[in-house]
Structure 1
Amino acid sequence: MSFKIIADTFSIARDATHFIQLKTVKKPRSDEQIWLAIEIEGETKYARSIVQNIVEVIEEMFFEKTELDTYERFEGTLKEVNLILKNLAEKHGEEATGSISAILGVFSGNELHLTQSKNAEAYLIRRGKLSMISEGLSGKSKDLFVNIASGELMPDDKIIFATSRLLRLMTQTQLVNIFGDGVTEAVDGLRELTIAENDLNLGATCIHVKLPQKNSTPLERAKTNPRLLKIQQWAKKIQNIVAEKISEKTKGTKVNFNRKGILIALVSIVLILMISVSVLMDSRRNQVLRDEYRLRIETMNQDLSVANTKGYANDKETANAILDKVEREARDILGTNYFRQEALALMGKTQEIRDSINNTIRIKQVKPYVDLKTKNPSIQALGMVTLDENFFVYEYNKIYEVILDQVLDPKVLDDNEVVTASTAMEDQGVVVLMTQSGRVMEYQNGQVSFADTNDVSWESGVALAAYGRNVYVLNPTKNQIYKYSRLRGAYTSMTEYNGDADLSNGISMAIDGNVYVLQKGGEITKLFKSKKQPFRVEGMPGDISEVSQIFTIAELNQLYLLDTINKRVVIVEKDRNGVAHYVGEVVFEELDNVKGFYVNKNEDKLYLLTESEIYQVDI
């Protein structure tokens, strides 16, 4: 008797000296399958090829020589694997193979055959009790695999193949209990415990053995197939009609079928047969598709394990590419009538792994920190700045001062002007606002006034930023940043700050001594003393072409980028020698129409402004 096997896997390799792979090898039209859990520790470039060689030997030796029984084929396969590793060590040295901890298990009918090396262990949970089934299989021989253990499987057995000792993470009782909700939940629990152990590298395969569904005959399938049942009902009706007609005409006399009656009966029979064959063929096609999607889901689960490993090895680009592939395939399966729950689970797990790899914080059920509607139910905020740790929110002609979490009555800025940009001058205690007409206003101590410059008029721009007593105006149309210094009675004449940078696509600006200009498409241009500086961001896991605002100040160690389209703030560590690094992101899926943001000087709180509220988030 063959069992149905339900399995899930995970692996965590924290550095490049640990290579972990979890593989399943099986062939079409064969009930036998081999599961491999392997961890290779050491500075070896041959780790991936070692695993590939093992898989190829399994395919060639175990699944091809079917004239031998299962045990003999497994034994021959292990001898060939040992020989390959021995040749590799002789040719390139012992360090070429690294230290290999592995479990190799064969499921054949109702039997399990397994072997083990080094630190890898296999556990069996049966009737609520846990036992180690790999103990004593490692020998003193230099061969990787020495002994084989065999045993009979029983329905509802649960088996764990692990590349390291699991009982260092939990007790036997806890390990049994963690399997109570299924293999996927068990894997999730083991992953969380492994992550908590900062120094542990681990790969694990969790398997649940179940009784298979009985293989039914076509006749039995017909009894449960809705379409075949309808056909049978039609046939029964035809039979009853024919019987009634015969009964009416013969009334007990001998029946003489004429040619027309026979033809009708034959056509009916042929029609029924054709429909039956069509339904059975359709059923067969459905089964083929189910098998295909099942294999795809198994492959996708293995891909997730690889992505997880790549992520912990800091190969985020490869990890995210694998996750994108899994997500696309899961969406494809969602578009069919097969394995929808499994596809949804895969998508959820994909997001979970992606969030872990990319250091993503997702804000859930966040409540407003400040409700601006208490002062104006129809408020449509446009932006926000901070001054002396107080917020100043502006809409097109009003400004709202927020002290702690209390909103003061709004001040009308001007009945004829529309505010388009703003910044705060901490050293001067002034909020500076630029209007659509190119004029500049100041808000200080509850008073609003227009600010003059020694020039005839101010240069217009799309963004403002302040540093010390200077205000900077970004004007991409003229490819320039205009600098004004605040004096006692007015601002100086403008000076052109940009010397050699292309700012024609600039949309936002931040200053910490350096000037950072965010361009359309996500590029950041850095200037210092009017000169463009080398600047690039490494480790960015995805596209940031939709970011629209940049924020930093001298006291912060990071740059913050607001992406309102994808509802997130991307965090980038400031550069050293021209190279900045991606740190993480905060995703706010539940918030719409975010207009501005601010990060406090301790860099532990993020404030997000919508059209009518301010939200506070721990980061």
Structure 2
Amino acid sequence: MKDLLEIHEFFVEGKDQERSHVLLHITEPGTPQEKAKGYFFAIVEINNGSLEQIEHLQQMIDDLESGYYETDDLENKSAFEITLEFINRRGHHILQYKNSVTSFLVGVLRNHELSLSYHGLPQAWLFYNENEEFKEMNILSEETIANGQLFSAILQGTLNDGDYFYLATPHISDYFTADRIKKILLTRNTRQSASHIQKVLKELNNDISFGGILFHHPDKMEMLASGQKAFVKEDGSVESLNKMVNLEQTTEEMLTPPLLGRTKKKWQIWWKNHQEEKEKKKLLKLQIKRRKEIDSTSHGTIETNFRLLKTKGNQGTWLDNFLVFFGKMLFNIFWQLWQFIKILIFFIGRNSIALILLLSNKDHKRAEVIKEWRRGYLQQKEKLENIPTFSKIILFVTVILFLIFVSSIFVYKIKQTWQAEKTAYANQVQAIIDKKNAADASLLYNDTNKALTLLLEAKNILNNLPNKNTNEKEQINTLGIALENSLNKLRKIYNPQSQLVTDLTIANPEAKTENLAIIDNFLIAYGKEDNKIYRTDLATKKTETKILADVFHPQNASTPKEQDTIVFINNNKSVAAYSKDSNNLLAEDISFPSENTQLSALCIYNRRLYTIDIANNQIYRHNFTQTGFDKGTNWLKTTDLNIKDANSLAIDGDVFVLKANGEIIKLINGIQTEFNISGLDPKLNNPKTIWTYNNVNNIYILEPTNKRIVMLDKTGKLLNQFSDPVWQNPTGMIVQEDKKLIYILDNNKIYQFNINL
């Protein structure tokens, strides 16, 4: 079984060739002398390089190619090594471009013997089988040492049957690791592997150019399985046997000349020459065919693909003449186009001036302008009539072709933009689907936080999707419904089907209640803009009103567990206490460590009153006295904590401060400790009330913005959300967790619902 060598290249041109430029070069030998020297290859990546440097590198590759094939091996030095030494002596200028980063690798594959040298950080990996295991080896494990030479060392080795030799520019390693290349080679043949790598790199749509080469010597099993024909080498044992047979035949003829031997010998010589001439013509046709295939492959201005080694006899082919003719034709077309544009500009300018004179009749030149236009029209008409018919046809065809050319450019740009938008839209839709599927998978493992994050990311992408046509709108609607269904599972929103307890407007049509308090079995509704308080008996559902003195404008309230009073904030500066006997408010003595106090929230815990002063960013702790409360002391110890937007306070031994931005601050002995809400969507938006206690399992938060009550455990994890469509603007909340009841004040109406889910 004879040798077969597979060589496949992959190449992707980047969008920014000034930033990144790649040169690929593979020389396929044509003559027997060239075949004896094997394949020459080179790969170059230039980043931020100038056109001059790129031309120097291309010339270096051409010099290496011609020098290698035209130089003979010496006894102790190969032609490849001699050529590299020559390039090192004359190629120092290539490294003098300070702002560019260049990596390149050159080498030859001669039968199974591999020789290469490199500069910078190109990629070169060997993939091979060892002990029934497919392994990889990095041939270039480190960057070359900067010693002023292009090529500082030569690496040599053997490419055995079944081995893969993989070359690539440095940036490909950002997307294809050696392990990924190995998996590709294990699941595809050589051509499919190169095509797959190129396809993936092209879909990146990157500014950077990429290139690489894949060599493979199939082993016998691969050749039998694929049915590939071997590449026949014209040297070795077969050639030696042929020489030996010819020698034996010549000797036999000298010893015993056959009848008509001379005639037979001449016939054999003629037949041999005829066959050789036939083989040469066949080889020439094959070379021409391959060159056509190569020239038909377009990669912009970057040289790539296989190239047959050009000899002096190949200069001046019909293809070269055609390219020269085509280039001249393009130049003439654009030159004529430029002349036409100049004439058009002059025509427009001249006639614009004439039009101004025609409209304004300046210096009485309107008649002169009309006369000049008429004379010009007649002259052009006469010229057109005198033009030969063939010239008219040429002019007409030229105008049509020009219009087609310009239109095709616009159509191409529009199509390119449309295709890019279509691809981006498809990628975004797929990203939404992928994130939703990943969220559903996370839910199976009860990882609700990750699932919520993925679904919110998908929803954000969905909100930014274009909806220019009906199909896009339908797809967005379908995806939105699917996301909302998944989000609702995580949000744990329930309709409690609340029941009306009482309508306070029956007792007072002008009621302006904002909050609720509870004492014994009575609900107390109040508002700072209302001069009354409303007491509702939960047993009878009857409501009594009590007119307040003008000095009282209650805002927030707290009831101790003893249920003996209710303490209100009054006018943001003082406090008042509710008397069960008189169903009225009484002023209480209180003072504060700081001046200009502005109270926003309070809470009674363990017979002490805690108040929040947003003007001085402090929490005070007050003791009860016979006439009210003492001066209080500063309780907050975390000095850099901002509570100036705090609007509610709850205590269960630890202190919970609710801020208007939705943040909950947990304090222990006046020092902030970590507390985060998890699993909640949407996030809190201007919540109003927080409530918990030491004998209560959960934390309850009232948020009027989204008309809901949020129930968390003491670690901040979402348990449930309650929202009823009948709620319009819920502003007050009382929780009786032991009775599984919650009371809501909404637009002067009090509702109750059961939380026993």
Q: Taking structure 1 as the reference length, what is the TM-score of the superposition?
A: 0.49
- Return the index of the structure with the highest Cα Rg: 2
Q: Between Structure 1 and Structure 2, which shows a larger proportion of helix residues?
A: 2
Q: Between Structure 1 and Structure 2, which shows a larger proportion of strand residues?
A: 1
Q: Taking structure 2 as the reference length, what is the TM-score of the superposition?
A: 0.41
